[in-house]
Amino acid sequence: MLPALGRVAVVALSLGAVGAGAEAAEEAAAEPFAVEYYYKVEWGHLSEWIELYRRNHYPILERLQEQGEIVEMRAVFPRYHAGEASRWDFRFTIVWKDALAAHRSTDPALVRELYPDQESFEKEEQRRFQLLLEHMDVPIDEEDLASW
């Protein structure tokens, strides 16, 4: 099965994205769109990174969820460690209401509202990204194996 964004592209291309084709593409785009965000942090700094994430990024995500842009969020940490090449420290899964919501930029007014002290916010976000060694965004499709 194609990922949601791939289904949108296939529908749009195969139907010409006009008339009924545009409607079908919009319908496919309106499906929930899940993304796993993987983070790899400098050794010994995960607690600091998590605190910065909780303080400066998670409230933005919570607000987007209140606004209906996000359907569900989940966080996981690996129980054991892996080799450096395949190691990740934190995976955050977001199910967006649709592919468009997943790719929309966050409104700067929302960030200013949540963080009136923009200087401190920017400084802490800079530190959070300094601690980050690697970050991946992986769109996923969850399938019910019983429907195969």
Per-residue pLDDT tens over the stretch 46-59:
999 999 999 999 99
pLDDT recorded at residue 148: 80
What element of type H or E holds 39?
strand 33-41
Contacts of 112 (CB under 8 A, 6+ apart): 118
pLDDT recorded at residue 11: 39
Unique residue bearing structure tokens 């592919």: 99
pLDDT recorded at residue 147: 85
pLDDT recorded at residue 28: 58
pLDDT recorded at residue 30: 83
Q: How far is CA 94 from the centre of its chain?
A: 5
pLDDT recorded at residue 101: 97
Domain boundaries defined on the chain: 1-31, 32-142
CATH class of 32-142: alpha beta
Q: Is the pTM of this model over 0.75?
A: yes
Q: What is the mean pLDDT of the chain?
A: 87
| Spatial distance between the Cα atoms of 45 and 51, rounded to a whole number of angstroms | 10
The whole-number mean pLDDT for each consecutive block of 10 residues of the chain, a chain of 148 residues, reads: 46 45 64 97 97 98 98 96 93 97 96 98 98 97 87
